[in-house]
Amino acid sequence: MAHTGTHSQPVRACLLLVVVSVWVQQVDGVWPLPQQLDQSADRNSLSPQRFSFTYGRDSAAQTGCSVLDAAFKRYFSIIFPDFTKGSGLLMSENESIRYTSSFSQLVYQDDYGSYFINKTEIVDFPRFAFRGLLLDTSRHYLPLHAILKTLDAMAYSKFNVFHWHIVDDPSFPYQSRTFPDLSNKGAFHPFTHVYTQSDVMRVIEHARMRGIRVIPEFDSPGHTQSWGKGQPNLLTPCYKGDVPSGSFGPVDPTVDTTYKFMESLLKEVKFVFPDSYVHLGGDEVSFACWQSNPNVRTFMEKMGFGKDFTKLESFYMESIMNMTAALNRTSIVWQDVFDYHERIPQDTVLEIWKGETYQAELSRMTKAGHRVLLSAPWYINHISYGQDWRNSYAVQPQNFSGTEEQKKLVIGGEVAMWGEYVDATNLNPRLWPRACAAAERLWSDEEKTLNADLAFPRLEKFRCELLRRGIQAEPLFVGHCKHEYDGL
């Protein structure tokens, strides 16, 4: 196996020796599809008692690596579910843990319980460096075990970024040290429906051990109704005629206290979340409340914005992005920020979420020199009867009008699982195996994976493998799996 992908995770896996050949099963069940694979029909038996993972002679991890040692133990029990002990496997660079994921799919049993492997040579690396999955924990609170289980399934599918849309209008479950009232007053419940600092640390560590980075999103100035419950004077008072209506709109971008609050919150976010990226949101800002507020209108006149409220939003977002840059963090923002404003820091990553025009948006953003994430066609919180994974599988992220240099600026994409109608009761079956379609699109060679009909047998088998690993992946077909989900 050889690997040339990049991964800018600040806490990353250890480096290991490249492996050029391993003994594995036929690849009809490998997902995502490796870049290159040569198989032999030669089959040898495999003894769990004699099998072990080991570091290569030239490996940088010869003295030991906790991330890989833990992965070896974890995957030994996956490969040999009837046995509980094991140690290592020759792997390669930054994405090395992901090769254990491929390897674990390729060991198989006969009807008598014996294990076998076939000889196969694999060369593998990711097509895109950023392969993300978004969970929304504001509209419905997701208990910690549901998030950790999602991280497990992400690793099996070679996703490497957990985008944690942790707060929004309905609730503020993040328990801030600096501003404890944000969750005390803004969460659905201040004790049972919050993520403590130790909860967040556990998520980050669980992800790190699986080669997954955690990027938090604190979306503003819109999507902040829950923020206002615990932070007085943060939101804009709405007016009806000349008097306040009693309701509130987006964050008030006209007062200094807003920016002092945001600076303090972002400093804490930097301390708690070690990743080099932070998502600042910037989407779906309603201007109606700003328009109704006389103080906002006065500020607009003073700044020379006229009646163009997109300029006011741009003023706010530029200030917040500058704060992030001063904290040595790179901003990710939703596409609205680009649509409204051209003066965006050049290293800002733009994320496309509007579905109908994403090819044109890809062209415009990359022409402006920005790195881009594609999410629009992978909003899989929307469901339909049957095999709707095929829609996700058909997406071609670089199929837009632009130069080769522009297309290189598409650094990856994200599956989005928004939470209006999703909680722990239906999260896993709605996510899996539907998210696997985007996982393969972001990992594998596009030319080798254009045909969904050819991909289906592999996905069918991988879905059964997910069941065997305890993931409640919904059916793709009429039939059965050898290892059905037993709920235990």
Catalytic residues: 284
164 forms bridges with which residues in the sheet? 135, 216
What angle is formed at CA 69 by the lines to CA 63 and CA 73, rounded to 5 degrees?
A: 150
HEC letters along the chain? CCCCCCCCCCCCCCCCCCCCCEEECCHHHCCCCCCEEEEEEEEEEECCCCCCCCCCCCCCCCCCCHHHHHHHHHHHHHHCCCCCCCCCCCCCCCCHHHHHHHHHHHCEECCCCCEEEEEEEEECCCCCCEEEEEEECCCCCCCHHHHHHHHHHHHHHCCCEEEEECCCCCCCCECCCCCCHHHHHHCCCCCCCCECHHHHHHHHHHHHCCCCEEEEECCCCCCCHHHHHHCCCCEEEEEECCEEEEEEEEECCCCHHHHHHHHHHHHHHHHHCCCCEEEEECCCCCCHHHHHCHHHHHHHHHHCCCCCHHHHHHHHHHHHHHHHHHCCCEEEEEHHHHHHCCCCCCCCEEEECCCCCHHHHHHHHHHCCCEEEECHHHECCCCCCCCCHHHHHCCCCCCCCCCHHHHHCEEEEEEEECCCCCCCCCHHHHHCCHHHHHHHHHHCCCHHHCCHHHHHHHHHHHHHHHHHCCCCCCCCCCCCCCCCCCCC
